[in-house]
Structure 1
Amino acid sequence: MMTRFAIMRFSALFGLLLLLGSCAEEKSKEETASKFEVPVTYYTLDNGLKVILSEDTTSPTAIVAVYYNIGFRNEPRDRTGFAHLFEHMMFQGSDNLGKMEFIKLVQENGGILNGSTRFDFTNYFEIIPSHKLETMLWAEADRMKGLSITQENLTNQQGVVKNEVKVNVLNQPYGGFPWLDMPQYANENWYNAHNFYGDLEDLDAASLEDVASFFDTFYAPNNAAISVVGDIDVEQTKAWIETYFGSIPAATLPPTPDISEPRQEEEKYFVKNDSLANKPALALAYHMPERNTPEYYAMGLLDQILIQGDNSLLVQKLENEKGFTSDVAGGINYLGSMFNYKGPMLWMYDFTFDDAESKEAILNAIDEVMTGLKGQIDQKMLDQAVVKIRSQLYDDIGGTFGLGRADLLCSFALFDDNPARINTLEAEFKKIDVETVQRTIDTFLRASNRTVLEVNPLLAANEKTQ
């Protein structure tokens, strides 16, 4: 028989065991969470098509994403805007689907779809109920092997794209600012510095022969990657992809153009007059380190420290302390993320401000942050930046039914031949120490690596004179 004291000791011991068990269980959960990995099945068909499959059973949906290794950068020199024009052409019909029938097929099967042109790729995707996966694979293969290239379709889409340029850029306040403008000012190499949306004369000059040659050259399986993400049977999906894509012939790809940028040695300053803008605006850009280097990951952390979130240094200075603006925004790669590009890139941010504010005072405040940055960086600050970037990364991977996951998988397959990189990103950021960040500041956040673009609001000036 236990004494009261022994019972108390036993109860205390039992409680301690329960507590330790609970702690161990929580630790196990944390370890499991920290070890979360995106499942990646990666292989290449005989015709060169890169295939990435990633199972996710959280919802009965699937994503088919096809990425072609052709973007704004390496379109023909005398055909600016051609990569974007061709994105539109891909919805005009194929061997077995007439004009706009691809869109109708997706929507009538409960799905959504879109496409876009980026710096280094053009992509197309469908999010559909998973039981319609085979249908979508067939449809994507159908337009990969046989696009409907007619003069009627070309003329129609030339008009659509020209109207898009007029609506989104030419007749829009701050049109093209800064995503379209800044690369043209900050870069020297034509491939990085031309008008990506396209000059209207170049769009008009595109011929049917140009379109056919572009399709045959760049829309081949050996210049593409397909990712299928979602509630899928991996082996069945492999079989379907082989059936529908395996017989499409490869193409002879042209040499890759030199898209490198020279080192910038002097600060650049430009003013863009905008007849529709009612407030001045500033954009500031710095050339990025080369992808996948320690400095590249360091810039990802510096991006978080400087402009991402309310606690970032430039937001604190320009919005909260000085009250110059309320809309500081930016990042690495305005047409995507810091992960889905290949060539030279800019780290950039922009904001509008009131006429009453002194542009010199604003730039002085920015310089205060930048010149004092190196002395502020410590390990705690880097740890906080890692938490922020990890949160954003997980949001991207899980968001929109996994579309962010499909994007990273295709990007890493095209650019690195290694979609499993998706599971190493957090570890790469954690490797970055204070010394690496300080070296990155000295090398890339120097004033001589900066380009400043000012919007001069002519509408505001005209209103004052009336």
Structure 2
Amino acid sequence: MKLLGLLTVVLLLASCEQFKNNDESGASYQVPVEYYKLDNGLKVILSQDKTAPTAIVAVYYNIGFRIEPKDRTGFAHLFEHMMFQGSQNLGKMEFIKLVQQNGGVLNGSTRFDFTNYFEIVPAHKLETMLWAEADRMRGLDITQENLTNQQGVVKNEVKVNVLNQPYGGFPWLDMPQFANTNWYNAHNFYGDLEDLDAANLDDVASFFKTYYAPNNAAISVVGDFDIEETKGWIEKYFGNISAADIPAFPDISEPRQEVEKDSVKNDPLANKPAIAIAYHMPERNTPEYYAMGLLDQILIQGDNALLVQKLEKEMGYTSNLGGGINYLGNMFNYNGPMLWMYNMTYDSETSKEEIMTAIDDVMVNLKEDITEEMLAGALVKMRSQLYDDLGGTFGLGRADLLCSFALFDDDPSRINTIEDEFKTVTPELVRSTIDEYLRKGNRNILTINPLLANNQKTQ
């Protein structure tokens, strides 16, 4: 869905001016946060920003594909599609038309630990969006026709994006299945076609009643609005939606990995080899977690990153090294085991052994290379990335972090302490983090064998 050109320009200029003013004053940027809960358990976060006449409504449900039913892989994603098929007062596709005809944009996505929906609209249409989101939270139009239709849409999406695509699912879908041992973290998140076919109306109704309840959700409103007026609208439209009995959260923990894993995936459509390297992350919000955030900046983010310098600039093995913490978001918007990962394609003339030798040359000296100056540089890059997230997509990045911190920590004000957490990281902490989390026993290597390229060579 395309954003309106004029709306884009206005918001980008406003965002740039806002951060410029904060930098000139020397003060760190503070996101306005007002947090409260309705009687039915809905978490509400309001963040006022009057630099542009727009408003964002973001609704996050605390259900992602990590904890979907064991015999219904891909069900969380299928349900995301069902949320656009009609509700009590809006027929099929009318939600989308309502937003677009009022000059707005919208989307939804399924992630590891949440499913989210958002609308970006002119500020005077905020009440309309709150009504519409409450309408589908209150009840969907669950019919066999809608279910059958969306099963076909999702299966086609799997075929187009994964099964019939070179490097389809690599590495974001493949690596978790390979590196993890707990089913919740290691199953096919996109969904097996047989499981998608097996979903029935009872499954859909039960899933909706269980997980799409106000006490399993957070809503953030970001933009130009009156706080008291918006509180009244939220109470009016969401306040009388019934809470649900939320089932106990399953054990999604991963055991400590002791031995390096190395595997190959044959890809009949790939024209050159590819490799992905992944390590299990420290537990979220621990000191080591923040240290890994800076190591991510040091090793793979930006042209001065050590692995970029080695693999791209010095050896010329690749031109597209990329990666990070959480390929389906960022290092803040997940809640469970996670991988730090990077990947690249490379020419067939280069061997996997050469790639790994170059990587090991960097990693073996990493502890000795860490200095205060290096951490200071990583902190600058992290701060820049964080502010990009906060201002990105017209403030949607801010709405995302507010909902994530509300769902996972019951504390959206954490958005204003992230930078301080990284500032506490010392060289000693980084070195101990390297010892525990960047050891070879915690490493996973997944290589793409390009069958297309091999077939071309033999012809």
Mapping 1:17-416, distance limit 5 Å: 32-416=25-409
Distance in 1 (alpha carbons) for counterparts of 2:391 and 2:308: 28
- Per-residue CA deviation, residues 218-238 of structure 1 (Å, 9 max, x unaligned), is 000000000000001111110
TM-score, length-normalised on structure 2? 0.95
Q: Please say which of residues 212-221 and 34-43 is displaced more in the overlay.
A: 34-43
Is the partner of 2:63 in helix, strand or coil? coil
Question: How far does residue 34 in structure 1 lie from its aligned partner after superposition?
Answer: 2.7
- Per-residue CA deviation, residues 140-163 of structure 1 (Å, 9 max, x unaligned), is 000000111000000000000000
- Report the CA distance shift for 1:454/1:244 in structure 2 as closer, same or farther (over 3 A): same
Is the partner of 2:172 in helix, strand or coil? coil
Conserved 8 A contact 2:79-2:204: yes
- Per-residue CA deviation, residues 161-216 of structure 1 (Å, 9 max, x unaligned), is 00000000000000000000000000000000000000000000000000000000
Unaligned runs of 5+ in 2: 1-20
Q: Percent identity?
A: 78
Letter in 1 for 2:433: T
- Per-residue CA deviation, residues 398-423 of structure 1 (Å, 9 max, x unaligned), is 12110000000000000000000000
- Report the CA distance shift for 1:229/1:30 in structure 2 as closer, same or farther (over 3 A): closer
Is the partner of 1:399 in helix, strand or coil? helix
Distance in 1 (alpha carbons) for counterparts of 2:116 and 2:72: 20
TM-score, length-normalised on structure 1? 0.93
Q: Does residue 449 of the first structure (1) align with residue 438 of the second (2)?
A: no
Is the partner of 1:165 in helix, strand or coil? helix
Is the partner of 2:65 in helix, strand or coil? coil
Mapping 1:414-433, distance limit 5 Å: 414-433=407-426
Unaligned runs of 5+ in 1: 1-27
Distance in 1 (alpha carbons) for counterparts of 2:247 and 2:24: 47
Question: How far does residue 396 in structure 1 lie from its aligned partner after superposition?
Answer: 1.0
Instruction: Find the counterpart in structure 2 of residue 5 from structure 1.
Output: none
Structure 1: which 4+ aligned runs deviate by more than 6 Å? none
Is the partner of 1:252 in helix, strand or coil? coil
Is the partner of 1:291 in helix, strand or coil? coil
Instruction: Find the counterpart in structure 2 of residue 25 from structure 1.
Output: none
Letter in 1 for 2:410: D
Letter in 1 for 2:113: D
Is the partner of 2:67 in helix, strand or coil? coil
Q: How many residues align?
A: 439
Distance in 2 (alpha carbons) for counterparts of 1:203 and 1:345: 25
Is the partner of 1:73 in helix, strand or coil? helix
Q: Which has the larger radius of gyration?
A: 1
Conserved 8 A contact 2:291-2:425: yes
Is the partner of 1:65 in helix, strand or coil? strand
- Per-residue CA deviation, residues 52-74 of structure 1 (Å, 9 max, x unaligned), is 00000111000000000000110
Conserved 8 A contact 2:22-2:29: no
Conserved 8 A contact 2:22-2:28: no
Letter in 1 for 2:275: L
| RMSD value, Cα | 0.9
Conserved 8 A contact 2:73-2:195: yes
Conserved 8 A contact 2:65-2:113: yes
Distance in 1 (alpha carbons) for counterparts of 2:234 and 2:426: 43
Letter in 1 for 2:274: A
Q: Does residue 462 of the first structure (1) align with residue 455 of the second (2)?
A: yes
Question: How far does residue 35 in structure 1 lie from its aligned partner after superposition?
Answer: 2.9
Distance in 2 (alpha carbons) for counterparts of 1:34 and 1:178: 40
Question: How far does residue 389 in structure 1 lie from its aligned partner after superposition?
Answer: 0.5
